[in-house]
């Protein structure tokens, strides 16, 4: 049975919809609670993990740390999504579960004016100020996803369905989503399951190598892992061997290929010494 | 009963969705016909109206107000049809032309660029590069058009109640969603909603009549037939406008009362 991935511009609403859909369909709900497990598994604080998902992009130095936190979350979430009948929200899965045909991706949005009115009432600020804050929130949301996954999460084309709660009520959105998963096209196929397994394997390999290679990019296909790392020419052999050894020890990995991306900045720094 | 506007790009199957929704609900379907109606009603060649609704205004047109007038005529023709209710409109900017009407379900249909390119290649017998270039140009033109006239990006999902990606979801799935959503209480036509659309149609009619008489850069509202015309012109010119409005008030019996307001910002709900 399918996976449902919910993304929302309002965390509370997305969470409520996710839980209600899971309740209606009898699916498992995976939300921010997963962070407790991710934190203990990787010896990091739960707060840092949540911050990596919520905080707008900041200093360059914090970027590497955030990418590492997101790597932990991604690997854990993809492992959970290998099972069927899961509703997932709040873990940015809409940005890394792409092209998997049995995953229904839904975005829940609110009209900006309505968001501004709610914010103005909740925080006791003027409507004008609230409008500016809503604009800034949307911009931050876009910047966050572009920096972390090179995708704009406010772009409707990333989703199968975008539902505005401006006029449609939350329960109607639940009804629409619950009805959609019964469509034949969202049933898992051998190919879509394999794609999901490949993604989970690639995320697992990346997780193991992230400490040593923060910019590593990993692809997997049926047990063959292709890793892209940055390196100076002189370290190339050593690094390739290291990646092969670490990745090769992981279950499910049959063959490792390492591609070198020239570290032009490092090269320039070294030649100027 | 409801009014449904479907915004779409070329080759994104929006027309097919709109026609099937109309068929399923027993509604009228309207697209380019609105241009024909505006063309007949206001004696403007259809080609000029097509250009007005497709190409973004040039710098010169911002001064000559040609596009302003054509859009006013198109909006007036669309509002007349919307008064009759039970309507599916697919085409550019339906959700913006009928802004302020409460029982309008605003839908956008999107499709993957590759699928659209393949459809255009097949239909127009073009190479992949030509089809892609044409589609990208068309998309850019539509975005520019909406941005220059309404200050919003038509690709912004927050302008719609429902955005459906026709790829994994089929045309029939999209039809199911729309029919399901349109059945909701808030999209049913109430006496208040009907009054609002009648007022909007009247305001559009007044604005179109004034545009025909070269009176541009103004906004019109109507509430139960009480029509307010907003202008940024000075008092002397506003007086001339009042003179022009007098015969109009006699010609349109739905007008109870007519007033001209100067030096006030245009209300957002105005036509």
Quickly state the pLDDT bin for A88 (edges 50, 70, 90): very high
Look-up of token digits 């909007």: B200
Q: Give the range among A37-41, A70-74, A86-90, B35-39 with minimum mean pLDDT.
A: B35-39
| Comparison of pLDDT for B174 and B93, the residue scoring more | B174
CATH number, residue B256: 3.30.70
CATH of the domain at B138: 3.40.50.300
Assess whether B80 and B158 both reside in one domain: yes
A162–B160: do the CB atoms touch at under 8 Å?
yes
pLDDT above 70 coverage of chain B, percent: 94
Strand partners for A8: A108
Q: How near does any CA of chain B get to the CA of A166, in Å?
A: 7
Residue-averaged pLDDT of chain B: 83
Domain count, chain A: 2
Buried residues in A147-172 as b, exposed as e (16+ CB within 10 A): ebbebebbbbebbbbbbbbbbbeeeb
* Residue A42 shares a structural domain with residue A30: yes
Residue B61 has pLDDT above 60, yes or no: no
pLDDT for the residue B257: 84
Range B217-227 average pLDDT: 85
Query: Are A163 and A222 found together in one domain?
Result: no
pLDDT at A153: 93
Q: How far is A75 from chain B (nearest CA, A)?
A: 25
Of all residues in chain B, the percent with pLDDT exceeding 90 is 15
The residue among A142, A157, A186 that closes a domain is A186
* % of chain A beyond a pLDDT of 70: 95
B270 within some domain: no
Q: Can you give the C-alpha Rg of chain B in angstroms?
A: 20
B269 part of a folded domain = no
CATH code assigned at A79:
3.40.50.300
ipTM of the prediction greater than 0.85, yes or no: no
CA separation for the pair B62, B72 (Å, rounded): 14
Considering only CB atoms, which residues of chain A are within 8 Å of chain B?
101, 104, 107, 109-112, 154-157, 159-164, 166-169, 172, 175-176, 179-180, 183, 185-186
Q: Across the beta sheet with A224-231, what order do the strands follow?
A: A217-221, A224-231, A255-262
Measuring CA to CA, how many Å separate A164 from each of B68, B124, B157? 30, 35, 8
Q: What is the dihedral of CA A179, A181, A185, A191, to 10 degrees?
A: 180
Tell me the chain B residues in contact with residue A174 when contact means C-beta distances shorter than 8 Å: none
Q: Is A238 exposed, middle or buried (0-12, 13-18, 19+ CB in 10 A)?
A: exposed
The CA-based diameter of chain A, rounded to the nearest angstrom, is 65
pLDDT value of position A205: 93
Query: 3-state DSSP call for residue A232?
Result: coil
Region A137-162 average pLDDT: 92
B95 touches chain A (CB under 8 A): no
Residue A61 in this model has a pLDDT that exceeds 70: no
At A201 the pLDDT is 95
Minimal-distance CA residue of chain B relative to A104: B168
Look at residue A30 in the predicted model and tell me its pLDDT: 96
Other CB atoms within a 10 A radius of the CB of residue B133 amount to: 13
- pLDDT for residue B70 is more than 60: yes
Out of B187, B221, B237, a domain closes at B187
Instruction: Write out pLDDT tens, residues B247-265.
Output: 877 788 888 888 888 877 7
Q: Which residue has the higher pLDDT, B145 or A263?
A: B145
pLDDT of residue B78 exceeding 90, the answer is no
Output the pTM of the full model: 0.83
pLDDT score, position A47? 93
Q: What is the mean pLDDT of residues A3-31?
A: 94
The average pLDDT across A188-204 equals 92
The whole-angstrom separation of Cα B247 and Cα B76 is 19
For residue A272, what pLDDT band results from cuts at 50, 70 and 90? low
Domain final position from B125, B160, B187: B187
pLDDT above 80: residue B44: no
Mutate to test the interface with A, among B158, B183, B184, B186 (most CBs of A within 10 A): B158
Residues in chain B closer than 8 A to A189 (CB atoms): none
> Which helix (H) or strand (E) covers residue B75, if one does?
helix B66-83
Is the Cβ pair A179, B180 closer than 8 Å? yes
Segment A64-84, tens digit of pLDDT: 888 899 999 999 999 999 998
For residue B107, the enclosing domain spans 3-187
What value does the mean pLDDT of chain A take? Answer: 89
Q: How many CB pairs under 8 A join A and B?
A: 74
| Tokens, residue B215 | 């009176």
Question: Residues A81, A103: one domain?
Answer: yes
Asked if A94 and A131 sit in the same domain, the reply is yes
What pLDDT shows up at residue B65?
65
Pairing of strands B162-165, A161-164: antiparallel
Q: Say if the Cβ atoms of B164 and A161 lie within 8 Å.
A: yes
Confidence class for position A270, pLDDT limits 50, 70, 90? low
B144 and B223 share one domain: no
Cα-Cα-Cα-Cα dihedral sign, residues B191, B202, B161, B181: positive
B186 in A contact zone (CB under 8 Å): yes
Q: Does B170 touch chain A (CB under 8 A)?
A: yes
**Model confidence at A60: pLDDT above 70:** no
Residue contact A156–B163, C-beta within 8 A: yes
**What are the distances in angstroms from CA A54 to CA A18, A151, A163, B149?**
18, 16, 22, 35
Residues A87 and A212 in one domain: no
In a domain, B267, yes or no: no
Beta-carbon separation of B161 and A167 below 8 A: yes
In this prediction, residues B94-115 reach a mean pLDDT of: 86
Q: Based on the domain organization, do B168 and B37 belong to the same domain? A: yes
Chain B residue numbers with beta carbons less than 8 Å from the beta carbon of A3 are none
CA dist A214 and B65 (Å) reads: 57
- In the predicted model, is pLDDT for residue A186 greater than 70? yes
Contacts of B164 in chain A (CB under 8 A): 160-162
State whether B125 and B254 are in the same domain: no
pLDDT digits (tens, 9 = 90+) for B115-150: 899 888 988 888 889 999 999 988 888 888 888 777
Partner-chain contact B164 A166, CB within 8 Å: no
Question: How many structural domains comprise chain B?
Answer: 2
| Cα B241 from Cα B213, distance rounded (Å) | 10
Q: What confidence score (pLDDT) does residue B124 get?
A: 86
**Does residue B132 share a domain with residue B83?**
yes
- Residues ≥6 apart with Cβ < 8 Å to B243: none
CA angle B7, B12, B16 (to 5 degrees): 80
Mark whether B117 and B37 lie in a shared domain: yes
Per-residue model confidence as pLDDT tens digits over B177-215: 899 888 888 888 888 888 888 888 898 888 888 887 777
B161/A168 touch (CB, cutoff 8 Å), yes or no? yes
State both tokens at B79. 């509002």
**Residue B22's pLDDT is what?**
93
Cα radius of gyration (chain A): 20
């Amino acid at each position: 049975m399918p996976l449902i991935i919910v993304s929302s511009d309002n965390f509370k609403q997305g969470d409520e919809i996710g839980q209600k859909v899971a309740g209606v369909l009898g699916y498992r709900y995976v939300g921010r609670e997963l962070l407790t497990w991710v934190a203990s598994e990787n010896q990091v604080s739960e707060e840092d993990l949540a911050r990596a998902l919520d905080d707008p992009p900041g200093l360059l130095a914090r970027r590497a740390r955030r990418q590492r936190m997101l790597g932990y979350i991604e690997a854990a979430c993809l492992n959970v999504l290998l099972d069927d009948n899961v509703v997932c929200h709040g873990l940015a899965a809409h940005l890394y579960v792409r092209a998997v045909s049995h995953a229904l991706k839904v975005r829940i949005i609110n009209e900006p004016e309505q968001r501004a009115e709610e914010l103005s009432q909740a925080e006791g600020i003027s409507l004008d100020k609230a409008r500016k804050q809503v604009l800034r929130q949307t911009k931050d949301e876009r910047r966050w996803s572009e920096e972390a996954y090179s995708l704009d999460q406010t772009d409707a084309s990333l989703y199968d369905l975008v539902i505005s709660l401006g006029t449609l009520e939350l329960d109607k959105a639940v009804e629409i989503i619950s009805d959609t998963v019964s469509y034949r096209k969202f049933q898992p196929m051998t190919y879509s399951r394999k794609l999901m397994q490949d993604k989970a394997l690639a995320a697992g390999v990346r997780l193991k190598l992230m400490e040593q290679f923060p910019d590593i990019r990993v692809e997997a296909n049926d047990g063959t892992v292709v890793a892209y790392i940055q390196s100076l020419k002189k370290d190339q052999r050593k690094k390739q061997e290291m990646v092969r050894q670490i990745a090769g020890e992981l279950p499910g990995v049959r063959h490792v290929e390492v591609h070198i991306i020239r570290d032009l900045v490092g090269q320039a720094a070294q030649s100027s010494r | 009963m409801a009014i449904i506007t479907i915004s779409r790009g070329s080759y994104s199957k929006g027309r097919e969705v709109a026609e099937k929704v109309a068929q399923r609900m027993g509604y009228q379907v309207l697209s380019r016909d609105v241009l024909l109606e505006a063309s007949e009603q206001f004696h403007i060649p259809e080609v000029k109206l097509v250009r007005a609704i497709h190409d973004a205004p040039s710098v010169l047109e911002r001064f000559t107000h040609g596009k302003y007038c054509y859009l006013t005529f198109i909006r007036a023709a669309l509002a007349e049809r919307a008064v009759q209710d039970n309507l599916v409109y697919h085409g550019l900017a339906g959700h913006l032309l009928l802004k302020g009407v409460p029982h309008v379900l605003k839908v956008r249909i999107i499709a993957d660029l590759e699928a659209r390119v393949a459809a255009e290649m097949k239909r127009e017998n073009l190479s992949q590069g030509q089809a892609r270039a044409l589609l990208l140009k068309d998309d850019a033109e539509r975005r520019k058009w909406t941005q220059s006239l309404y200050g919003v990006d038509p690709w912004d999902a927050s302008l719609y109640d429902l955005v459906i990606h026709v790829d994994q979801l089929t045309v029939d799935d999209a039809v199911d969603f729309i029919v399901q959503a349109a059945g909701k209480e808030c999209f049913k036509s109430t006496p208040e909603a009907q009054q609002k659309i009648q007022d909007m149609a009247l305001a559009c009619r007044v604005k179109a009549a004034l545009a025909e008489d070269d009176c541009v850069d103004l906004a019109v509202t109507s509430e139960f037939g009480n029509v307010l015309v907003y202008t940024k012109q000075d008092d002397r010119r506003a007086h001339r406008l009042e003179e022009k409005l007098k015969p109009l008030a006699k010609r349109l019996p739905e007008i109870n009362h007519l007033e001209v307001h100067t030096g006030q910002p245009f209300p957002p709900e105005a036509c």
